[in-house]
Structure 1
């Protein structure tokens, strides 16, 4: 109990250290509900960025910039001179690998913070534990992508791990900002069902997008295998599913306003409408421009933002009370402060 008391006293100290390093360490070693939520937000941002950098690897043909795994090339963990690969391609691919370690580090810190939070909230620990474990799985699948010479099925699975991991990242972010009371439904049953269908539709659009990417020109390397589908056909399927998602979003918005759904729910649906309009415009522009690389990266990032918002809409259908305050435990009296006998 002494260790818990000392940790709680430090976490509850109203005078945070001015030393930036100390404050960073305290954010996960002596966490508060607010610092845990900030770490969870960093996890969301990191996983969104890794999708964008993965897209940059593809459009710059850097998928085999590091032709080996787990080493970059030969016996070296870092890029070295290789006549078969340019220094730029190697740097881009190696940079994407390094970002994976950053995301893993954030996942580990999130898990440590969830373990040391006082009082400990078991569901937050479970949400947090999934993050480092999922990143490790992503790294292993990344190795399969390299060893399979960028097979489109392996590349698609590698991409889809990030949206799957974002379920835990967004879940932890949302749960760490609310209480532990029994969930109270705050929207009509019809709106809950529409929200669930919306999340499913967004997930299907992501899967269809990997087929389009696996069929299109951006394979990550000139020699990489592609799917044998007609790009026009898979693009139409992807576009149709995207329009279905837009339709469900508009329906959710109409029902939300007609049934008096909470403001937080309406705001998130409106945000999703804006993202979908931008994403749709970007998709058509890149199609008619011949799928230029920079627009592909923006489109991939946009798809992840749509997914994150769809997940947040699900969490806005119920309320679990306010975020609990950090528990404060009075420190035990020490021998230096205890009264001494006369």
Structure 2
């Protein structure tokens, strides 16, 4: 015989429910992470104060973007002839940190150069947030800490090198090194992004060892391509200012050398892509190689177009953007050829992920 609950007349069951506890247990969908807060500002603060793997990777990717962005805007300063828009460093003019009328510099050039200097603070802020997020993770991962710490240290070094660029009147060597230091920072930021989604166990290759070696050879060739591009830029017409010096090289010869390295890079990429498909490598590795080949071909179109159109400033800027994208895509290929034991969610994990484990 089933017992039925007796409810008095006039009883409001919505206010005073009758019966035992609900049989349905909470699921992960019922648990709200701190980063799911309705207020976007609070959500932003919690993304690094109570970091999860997802938010940590988000900040690492933000650092990749801002470091690539300032490398491109730096090229924009050069192609607009604003390299000495602020003729002194760290002040913009001898008497002011802010742009001020100067008899030998146009205000437009001054604002362009000063705007690029201001972007340094944005890049530094993102780097500092990455360090804070790593420090707030529990358990703390030393492998991430040193990668994150490279960012503010490298950005400060870049700022000091920028002062050297100005003091040497845009010497092509110092200008070229300015860009190459940025590529090193982008590599550190990308490794932080990749490692944030992995564990700290030994790296395990997911392809044949020879394919992994081919990936490293490809990355080295891409870096050599960037160096050759810097030499071409230091020899070409866009010096950043009429007072800047140039490399005393034959522009035709260095442009041909640059093109030859392009052929090597594209050939290595195609060989790696073909080998990955033949060996039935994991899909992420194949997709990364295919994406790299795509951006290389697009970059080649831009490069040849700017060459035949006498190197217009807009295409030079697009070419620098393409160079940073090619570098990031090559880094993605290398990190897709290995994996590490993924992080679990043990007791004492980061505050946000511990909540999800309830």
Is TM > 0.5 for Structure 1 vs Structure 2?
Answer: yes
Residue 105 of structure 1 aligns with which residue? 125
Residue 144 of structure 1 aligns with which residue? 164
Q: Secondary structure at the match of 2:241?
A: coil
CA contact (8 A) 1:279 1:302 kept: yes
Rate the CA distance shift 1:241–1:327 in 2: closer, same or farther, 3 A.
farther
Per-residue Cα deviation, 1:86-115 (whole angstroms, up to 9, x for no partner) = 111111111111111110110011011101
Rate the CA distance shift 1:245–1:329 in 2: closer, same or farther, 3 A.
closer
Residue 48 of structure 2 aligns with which residue? 28
Q: Given the alignment of the two structures, is residue 262 of structure 1 paired with residue 282 of structure 2, yes or no?
A: yes
Displacement of 1:14 in angstroms is 5.2
CA contact (8 A) 1:41 1:169 kept: yes
Q: How does 1:220-299 map to 2 (within 5 A)?
A: 220-299=240-319
Displacement of 1:133 in angstroms is 0.4
CA contact (8 A) 1:118 1:327 kept: no
Q: Secondary structure at the match of 1:31?
A: coil
- Say which of 164, 177, 200 aligns to 1:157: 177
Residue 334 of structure 1 aligns with which residue? none
Q: Given the alignment of the two structures, is residue 169 of structure 1 paired with residue 195 of structure 2, yes or no?
A: no
After TM superposition, the score normalised by the length of structure 1 is: 0.90
Q: Which has the larger Rg?
A: 2
Residue 60 of structure 2 aligns with which residue? 40
Residues of 2 paired with 1:212 and 1:52: CA distance?
16
Q: How does 1:11-160 map to 2 (within 5 A)?
A: 13=33, 16-160=36-180
Residue 322 of structure 1 aligns with which residue? 342
Residues of 1 paired with 2:32 and 2:58: CA distance?
17
After TM superposition, the score normalised by the length of structure 2 is: 0.86
**Structure 1 unaligned regions, length at least 5:** 1-10, 332-342
Judge which range, 252-261 or 315-324, deviates more. 315-324
Rate the CA distance shift 1:329–1:314 in 2: closer, same or farther, 3 A.
closer
CA contact (8 A) 1:33 1:325 kept: no
Residue 22 of structure 2 aligns with which residue? none
Residues of 1 paired with 2:216 and 2:202: CA distance?
20
Q: Given the alignment of the two structures, is residue 212 of structure 1 paired with residue 232 of structure 2, yes or no?
A: yes
- Say which of 195, 210, 219 aligns to 1:190: 210
Q: Secondary structure at the match of 2:85?
A: coil
Displacement of 1:177 in angstroms is 1.4
- State how many pairs are aligned: 321
Displacement of 1:254 in angstroms is 1.0
CA contact (8 A) 1:12 1:328 kept: no
CA contact (8 A) 1:57 1:93 kept: yes
- Say which of 313, 316, 321 aligns to 2:333: 313
**Structure 2 unaligned regions, length at least 5:** 1-30, 352-358
Residues of 1 paired with 2:320 and 2:350: CA distance?
50
Per-residue Cα deviation, 1:15-57 (whole angstroms, up to 9, x for no partner) = 7332222222212222122111111010000011111101110
RMSD: 1.8
CA contact (8 A) 2:81 2:241 kept: yes
Residue 4 of structure 2 aligns with which residue? none
